[in-house]
Amino acid sequence: MSTAAETTGGDIEPWEEVTPDAARRLLVAAVEAFAERGYHATTTRDIAGRAGMSPAALYIHYKTKEELLHRISRIGHDRAVGILRTAAQGEGGATERLADAVSSFVRWHAGRRTTARVVQYELDALGPEARDEILTLRRQCDAAVRGIIEDGVATGEFDVPDVKGTTLAVLSLCIDVARWFNVNGPRTPDEVGALYADLVLRMVGAEPAGSAQR
């Protein structure tokens, strides 16, 4: 699946909050370019060219290349927070909620892997103010997963001596899917999500509770 396919239509990555259409096209082009070449090696001319626009047209919608990266990162992290909070606040015990959080988060990183690579691995290219904003959202992701694990420890569902370290390990596993997932590989995003949910439940000492069939 190409980046364009990831970023247009259906449930893949509509970027519906980005308007007008020209601004959305530039953002999609920036995702493609940053994922392919890296932020620092990408020029505004590269981005405009991919969008079929002139470099001057880019500045009508985005003052700088960093503003584009910030917008991409903000939208991506807002979605990440939403995925994890929805799972954390869902019905069921900690085992079910942790499995849901992991499988959903992994599916996002696999199904939207090009966007996720930019969102997760280009953070250091942002300036201090924008970076602090994104780090706040990352802490919210951490808090959602940590809360589920703490609940599981409190109810006896999980055996986790180091909740903070385990939370970091769980999030790291999920995020890394964006780096290696291949649409032509042997597993679908759903299958990888189910596998990781099962692995994480084993990590925390819980019974899989059918998570492999999710």
What are the tens digits of pLDDT across the range 101-139? Answer: 999 999 999 999 999 999 999 999 999 999 999 999 999
Whole-number percent of the chain with pLDDT over 70: 90
Environment class of residue 71 by beta-carbon count within 10 Å: exposed (0-12), middle (13-18) or buried (19+)?
buried
pTM of the model: 0.87
Q: Tell me the CA end-to-end span of the chain in Å, nearest whole number.
A: 23
pLDDT (average), residues 32-40 = 94
Counting residues of the chain whose pLDDT is more than 90, the rounded percentage is 87
pLDDT tens track for 168-189: 999 999 999 999 999 889 999 9
Q: Return the domain boundaries, the chain.
A: 16-63, 69-204
69-204 fold = Tetracycline Repressor; domain 2 (1.10.357)
Quick check: do 16-63 and 69-204 share a fold? no
Considering the chain, what is the average pLDDT of its residues? 90
Average pLDDT over residues 20-27: 95
pLDDT of 5 > 70? The answer is no
User: Considering the domain 16-63 in this protein, what is its CATH number?
Assistant: 1.10.10.60
> What is the spatial distance between Cα 167 and Cα 204, in angstroms, rounded to a whole number?
10
Instruction: Report residue 207's pLDDT band, with 50, 70 and 90 as the boundaries.
Output: confident
